[in-house]
A and B are shown apart, each in its own frame.
Chain A
Amino acid sequence: MAEFKFINGNEAVAYGVKLARAGVVAAYPITPQTKIVEKLSELIADRELEAEFVKVESEHSAMAACLGAASVGARAFTASSSQGLAYMFEMLSYTAGSRFPVVMAIVNRAMAPPWNIWCDHQDSISCRDTGWIQYYVESAQEALDTVVQAFRVSEHPEVMTPAMVCLDAFVLSHTEEPVAIPSQDAVDAFLPPYNPPYRMDVENPMTFSAGAFPDSYMEFKYGQHLAFQVVPRVMREVEDDWERKVGRSYGGPLEAYRCEDAEVALVTVGTATGTARLVVDSLRESGRKAGLIKLRLFRPFPVEELRETARSLKAIGVLDRNLSFGFEGAVFSEVKAALYGLPARPLAAGFVAGLGGRDINVEQVEQMYDRLESASRTGLMEREVEFIGLKGVAV
């Protein structure tokens, strides 16, 4: 039986890690992720989680320790944010290239300078091509559920790829909500102990993260590519099983909300989804055909699922809480690239909003839908990329 706790997103992550029975936790504090590290230390100190806590002196070492722990067959977890993630960057490709299924929570925080501890997605989006699966969640409950699921997806023999579970700073990390904590029995039935096909073993010595000359390097990378390609399928299977055992599901790589007969839809990532849901509901009440696409999986990008949902739309918008300078939001680029292969494509608009923790409010989201609807009426998208909520001047 599930037990309800009134906890924030960070604590939900920690409970997910506990339920997943992680064997090694190596992490370094950074706002707004710190509570995850503190909570896990507590759980380990009180023997609620039988794990080793490596009190590393940096994020670079946190990931190096996870690499080492995973290499001998321990389930490893860490968490970081922003500058910490940037500091760890070198080790990300090591873990991914070595095919160790480490799971890491990222509490999304803006990159300095200007120094800023609030939410945007620049930190993890910048790690797009490090070889990590990236999930984004909307609630503390989804954070807990996704952490447990992430271990199972990553440890799948066809996947063997690490994953980031990303949650918005403060809005999620520090905001309390009732969270159902599944029973340990249910989670044990869902997630078997980690038993990798290869590990560092003195009885069967092997070299890990070896070098490769140009005659074989590409095949290693192609192997990672193939692993990513099965992730959407595995993620759906894993979610189905989670639903059977725990009774909750989030709809796989993306959730299409009120999209059946929609003419326009907005793609959202993270907590902005909640605001967009409200807007869609009120638009629907006044008879407007608006839908919402919540992107849960950013890497691999769920191309098929997006095409399926978006092919009948007249206009699609993307709300990006990140910016590829001089161009547009990164999710917008991905969405357009994914839809390019369709014979007929919706018009597309990118909205950059909420950088550095600026609030994304209902009015702003309504403004986005207005833009999409007017484009769908005229058949013309006036401006492809727009900053929403900008005060107009650059500093």
Chain B
Amino acid sequence: MSGVISVRPKDLPFDESVVGHLGCSGCGAFVAVRLALKILGDQTMLAIPACCVLATTCFYPQVPLKVPTLMTAFPATAATASGIAAGLRHLGKKKEITVVGLAGDGGTADIGIQALSGALDRGDQILYICYDNEAYMNTGVQRSGATPKGARTTTTPGGQRGMWESSPKKDLLSIVAAHGIPYAATSCISFPQDFMQKLAKAAQVEDGPSFIHVLAPCPPGWGYASEKTIELGKLAVEAGVFILREWENGEMKVTRKLRKRKPLAEYLKPQARFRHLTDEEIKAMEEEIARAWETIS
């Protein structure tokens, strides 16, 4: 990438690079895609696997993406992006073009993690963006490795056995950072400045892969009214549930420290997926969050 990219909102291009997608109203994932393409610009190529973003942008003959895009198989995002990068390198065109893999949390933390690990390990120069709506939304809200503990999904329906999601959210950022890549960060669409700044940094990496994990709330999947997307993303961060961090020069740091965490209930209560939680359970979760913060800071 050439020069320093300004991330002042007033400097962002007015033109949109994704126009006329079929996503739900209030979709957090598309906020991420729109902002990302404004930062990345038109010298960008995308690899997108099966996920909500693909299902709502891929249909012939009305494709809404204005950058060259290769749709690929669900597990294959990173390897496909690596192939694009290798092809461009062979043709002497890689320097000018940012090759981006864009996948959901399932396509990243679960089925695509092998290909992702391979690409990170090889040090391929790709930028990988995982938009995280915390479940397999495209197929109707099944749990993924990124689904938080306690959440209801269609495969963790509670029922008589109380079979809610039972394991904590996978720590993708640490998994990625453990590959020793130059740059990785978490962000959230409700903090556009943070997201775009980190993206700009990630796009400027010239000596290997970079990775952005962005929380992107989903109205039908989480069970809230569509106008609350930004608000819930904010609450996820401010209640300390989703931590904004950055991995750079071999060091992990928290980029948004919280002087005081918002009560967890404020974040959980508006969401149908957490409606079954008792006050005691919420309290226990809050204690877990406190412990997590202690270990990282």
Contacts and interface: CB of A to CB of B under 8 A. Distances in A.
B76 A200 contact: no
B91 A73 contact: yes
Find the residue from A54, A207, A216 having the highest chain B CB count within 10 A: A207
Interface in B76-108: 76, 78-91, 93, 96-97
Interface string B11-42: 00000000000000000000000000000001
Contacts of B88: 72, 74
Interface string A208-236: 11111100100000000000000000000
A23 B94 CA distance: 14
Contact of B72 (A52, A64, A76): A64
Nearest to B65: A207
Contact of B90 (A51, A56, A94, A98): A51
Contacts of B78: 61
A24 B84 CA distance: 10
B271 interface: no
A212 B89 contact: no
Find the residue from A211, A212, A213 having the highest chain B CB count within 10 A: A211
A96 to B, nearest CB: 13
B99 to A, nearest CB: 8
A68 B118 contact: no
Interface in A61-78: 61-62, 64-74, 76
Interface in A29-78: 50-52, 54-58, 60-62, 64-74, 76
Interface SS of B by simple majority: mixed
Interface in A98-152: 98
B60 A56 contact: no
A70 B87 contact: yes
Interface residues of A, number: 43
A72 B84 contact: yes
Interface in A159-214: 200-202, 205-213
Contacts of A375: none
Contacts of B60: 210-213, 216
Contacts of A71: 70, 83-84, 87
B15 to A, nearest CB: 13
B191 to A, nearest CB: 29
B225 interface: no
A352 interface: no
Contacts of A211: 54-55, 58-60, 71
Contacts of A237: none
Contact of A60 (B70, B82, B115): B115
A51 B43 CA distance: 23
A202 B42 contact: yes
Find the residue from B58, B73, B124 having the highest chain A CB count within 10 A: B73
A94 B63 contact: no
Interface in A1-38: 23-24, 26
A210 B87 contact: no
B145 interface: no
A118 B58 CA distance: 42
A24 B87 CA distance: 6
Contacts of A65: 79-80, 82-83, 86
B45 to A, nearest CB: 6
Interface of B: 42-45, 47, 54-55, 57-61, 63, 65-73, 75-76, 78-91, 93, 96-97, 114-115, 117-118, 121-122, 124
**7 tightest A-B contacts by CB?**
A68-B83, A57-B118, A65-B83, A61-B79, A74-B87, A69-B87, A64-B79
5 contacts: A56-B82, A64-B72, A76-B83, A211-B71, A213-B60
